[in-house]
């Protein structure tokens, strides 16, 4: 597979986001507050609950796996299973989060969104980052699409 700048940038940025989530776990309550996880998550972390670390850890693992898919598509690591499907889904999730993050805060009535309503800066920045990442994954995937096809057939298994 060919090296692809779009996927390298997207994967590298996603890897940084994954590592940042691990740093938030280590940093504790103040880091949860600073990075917009919400006061409830910060308070649970202060009280010694494992829930914030578990949720943040799962997010870190998902982001890490998405970085691997980007690096795979860029030709830096071996081909990942279901590459075509995964890359399209990753691009879609990032782009949807980027496009609909701010309207969700403005129009849905949940305690988390009400809390974030006081800090739209977080939603603006994180939505912008997600939109850029979605574009990186989408353009990069489009560019390497033929090379992501499983040898001898489709990327979708037939049962």
Residues 6+ apart with CB under 8 A from 90: 66, 69, 70, 137
Alpha carbon distance 138, 45 (integer Å): 36
The pTM is what? 0.85
Above 50 in pLDDT, residue 156?
no
Nearest to 84 by CA among 24, 150, 34: 150
- The more confident residue out of 111 and 76 is 76
| Residue 62, SS3 per DSSP | helix
């Amino acid at each position: 597979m060919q090296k692809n700048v779009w996927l390298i940038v997207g994967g590298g940025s996603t890897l940084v986001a994954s590592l940042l989530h691990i740093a938030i776990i280590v940093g504790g309550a103040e880091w949860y507050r600073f990075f917009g996880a919400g006061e409830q998550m910060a308070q649970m972390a202060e009280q010694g609950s494992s829930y914030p670390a578990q949720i943040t850890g799962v997010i870190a693992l998902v982001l890490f796996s998405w970085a691997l898919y980007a690096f795979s598509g860029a030709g830096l690591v071996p081909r990942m299973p279901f590459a075509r499907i995964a890359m399209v889904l990753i691009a879609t999730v990032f782009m949807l989060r980027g496009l609909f993050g701010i309207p969700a805060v403005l129009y849905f009535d949940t305690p988390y969104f009400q809390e974030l309503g006081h800090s739209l800066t977080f939603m603006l920045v994180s939505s912008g980052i997600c939109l850029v990442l979605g574009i990186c994954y989408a353009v990069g995937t489009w560019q390497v699409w033929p090379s992501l096809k499983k040898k001898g057939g489709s990327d979708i298994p037939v049962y």
